[in-house]
Structure 1
């Protein structure tokens, strides 16, 4: 049990192909559950509390383990999305972070970056459970906010620029790699302006794309339901 809460840095878990595929399949299953259960109040409550417990567990451990500010602040994109999706008031900003959380959770499982602690460790489970809960909570909010206005391109760019400038400022002050803005993992770049540009463009494109796909899907489902009603 001491290894589960250890603060001794070792090696991050290294997933094989089947383990990676399994995590991805569960992610898509979480989306499926959202569409099946989004009208059920208990489903919302379960995943809200799951996210809450995950956040409290992780940050309690950070404090107890005396983890450095360069890694323990909530300035990764997904962690910001977790906070907003749990406590922000409904509106464009919360909708923005819901789309951000959907993309961020998918990206987290496509290219998982675990903390450098051997499995099994608390940080592995908070990473996995936290991103699944984020997926569900973001999708539940979007499905429950169907009357909300679409995010405009200018809004998405504005929110993303402000957020990334804040994240970059914190990263520079603490020496961390928040938002992967100081060192981008896939392109392995340490060029700050390039990383900022690439991450900002990727987030804007992804958020607008997910919004367009979700709206198109919901319109298609609505037409099918209307046609079935007319046939009856």
Structure 2
């Protein structure tokens, strides 16, 4: 893009776009507390990032959330409905702690945490639910340190998942999208063993490239 060929209005729009990218990157870099939030509330990485992003009480729209969560993939951004999926999951997992995420039509998503559970979790403390029950920290096995193939597969599953965190796909589809050239059974077994997913339906062996897997993200 040659800036000297742009009109004043185009320059202003370009500057606004650059500022939006800077804001997204700034918010994305503020994800230092993700492991603590994952352990306290049993969240996936992207779910914890969403909780962390909204924890300051500011209302954010879909574009702002997508920009912060996927700042490094905005050349091929995910479906905007992805935000609804993650907001739904975070609501389900944090409601017992009195945390609420409200959706305001035309404005975005706002979080309230009247009991201060998120601050407690950031400090590495065990937190109680609204009934006063102490909730143990949730940890994964040492195998949860994903390699590159596992990361690619988890990204694929998150993009395919529905509102309850379930994804249906064939081995062929997964390989075409992720470019992973290895046995899909072994890969999904690894993700199962480290507590990232639960396989609900496996394809029958023999011609399984074109029959569906059905998995639940945990």
Same fold at TM > 0.5: no
| Higher-strand-fraction structure | 2
Task: Using CA pairs under 8 Å that are at least 6 residues apart, name the structure with larger relative contact order, 1 or 2.
Answer: 1
Which one has a bigger Cα radius of gyration? 2
TM-score relative to the length of structure 2: 0.30
| Higher-helix-fraction structure | 1
